[in-house]
Chain A
Amino acid sequence: DAKTTQPPSMDCAEGRAANLPCNHSTISGNEYVYWYRQIHSQGPQYIIHGLKNNETNEMASLIITEDRKSSTLILPHATLRDTAVYYCIVRVENTDKLIFGTGTRLQVFP
């Protein structure tokens, strides 16, 4: 079973920041938090991952709470093309499995 909990859906206005929350209260010390998204029925696209520190790349920022029990993916300026299902995944220690939950369906509207 997925070790994460996400809201099933969210809306965001185009040009605004999209903040997608994720709870992972049972995360272990060496487990990373990964974010992927799936646009329509395409293959999942890697966005970002982190362990303890906040991370930023050209796509998004990842904010992880100090106790690591939750995190937030931030898309700073959402566009219509960011409409997708976003998956928050805790990578099981010492395995290569990604356990996908049901994700958050983000709808960006004009």
Chain B
Amino acid sequence: DTAVSQTPKYLVTQMGNDKSIKCEQNLGHDTMYWYKQDSKKFLKIMFSYNNKELIINETVPNRFSPKSPDKAHLNLHINSLELGDSAVYFCASSQRAGGSYEQYFGPGTRLTVT
């Protein structure tokens, strides 16, 4: 059973295109996240949603727009893709209240912009 899943796993596209990455979790968590991992493996949070409400929005270009249709899904839409957007994007989820708040990660989507 996949806990946090992402599609697609690989995405190759040209500059200027618009693309979306989808994420779903079946853990019953109420909080979901998007992270970007660059070529040096540095991992940085981009967005976080709690029960469909945006709670973290780091300094990310507004070409990136997350959408959460329900608390089990958090999609990432990227407009006008640039070369610098090439990275691995990870979705994660956690339970916000109580406990150790550990985040569970999806397998990642490797985006290559040419």
On whether the two chains bind one another, the answer is no
Q: Which residues of B contact A (CB under 8 A)?
A: none
Q: Which residues of A contact B (CB under 8 A)?
A: none
